[in-house]
Chains A and B, each alone.
Chain A
Amino acid sequence: MLNLVLMAMIVALLIPLYQAWRDEDIWQTMLALASVSAKSAVMILLVSILRDDWMIGIVGVIILSVGNAGFMLLAHILKRMGDS
């Protein structure tokens, strides 16, 4: 059952990848990055449940929480690029 959920998540991961590949607005690409990062972290959590492996689970939690800080840094630099 959880295998099927994981397959659906892989398909869902392809959508923001396609969006990032279509070269348009930089903010659309940023949204795709946020989406991919959050989805991959949740997928790590799901796999950790699937295998009953807490070491992978902790890595998933850290990636999920630290990812947002990275977006803030990157978004600020891109925003200042647009202002000047």
Chain B
Amino acid sequence: MDSYVYIITALLPLAASMLVFQTNPYHALVIRGVLGAISALVYAILGAADVALTEALVGTLLAITLYAVAVRSSLVLRLGVLKDDFLAIEQDADQDHTNHLKQKLANLRVLFEKYHLRVELVPYLDHADLHHALINKEVHVIYTQSDAKAGYTGDSFYLNTRLQRIHEILNADPSLTSVLVDINALNPKEVCL
């Protein structure tokens, strides 16, 4: 057998180990494409043209598309915000309150970037709707201004979350204040009142 066959075959474990040791899911997705291309090459050179064609069409094209959709929809942190604030952020309004909010949002994005999570804003009409969404598990985190909760001193912006792990991550950052809400202990009707 020709010597180039051995060299090309050696590329397959190389690409596979690159994929295994990749921690970022989006990079892993692209490297899965590289692995697919190289394995199609190896299969074709070893004489299995049909296997190479299946690997390229199904293994790479379809698997990557499905995996990309899965990664995109699962690695996301849904943050509930008020509709007015959401519109102000979207329209890039230059107010003290909006700038403060944007600053906090940028901090949040940087913090969750480390965990490969995307922060997605979900608008709600008022505070009651926000709490409802948190309890109904529509969002992971909501933010509240301190005037909604009497007697709270310190930063006016704090986050409510229902997940222990996200609470730990948020509390590790000194610029963010987080409150863990135990949704099992709360009755949705009580919050409405």
A positions within 8 Å CB-CB of B:
3, 6-7, 10, 13, 16-17, 20-21, 23, 26, 29-30, 32-33, 36-37, 40-41, 43-44, 47, 55-56, 58-60, 62-63, 66-67, 69-70, 73-74, 77-78, 80-81, 84
Contacts and interface: CB of A to CB of B under 8 A. Distances in A.
A77 B68 contact: yes
A18 to B, nearest CB: 10
Contacts of A59: 40, 44, 49, 52-53, 56
Interface stretch (B3-11, B159-167, B179-187): B3-11
A33 B22 CA distance: 15
Nearest to A24: B27
B177 interface: no
B72 A44 contact: no
9 contacts: A10-B11, A17-B11, A21-B18, A29-B27, A33-B31, A56-B44, A59-B40, A63-B53, A69-B61
A29 B57 contact: no
Given A44-B44, A62-B56, A73-B65, A36 B4 contact: no
A33 B30 contact: yes
Contact of B65 (A7, A29, A44, A74): A74
Contacts of B27: 23, 26, 29
B34 interface: yes
A23 B40 contact: no
Interface of B: 2, 4, 7-8, 11, 14-15, 18, 22, 24, 26-27, 29-31, 33-34, 37-38, 40-41, 44-45, 47, 49, 52-53, 56-57, 60-61, 64-65, 68-69, 72, 118, 120
Contacts of A58: 49
A40 B69 contact: no
A10 B26 contact: no
Main secondary structure, interface of A, reads helix
B33 to A, nearest CB: 5
A26 B26 contact: yes
Contact of A7 (B4, B18, B22, B52): B4
A37 B2 CA distance: 23
Nearest to A60: B44
A37 B44 CA distance: 14
Contacts of B68: 73-74, 77-78
A34 to B, nearest CB: 9
B11 A13 contact: yes
Nearest to B60: A70
Contacts of B61: 66, 69-70, 73
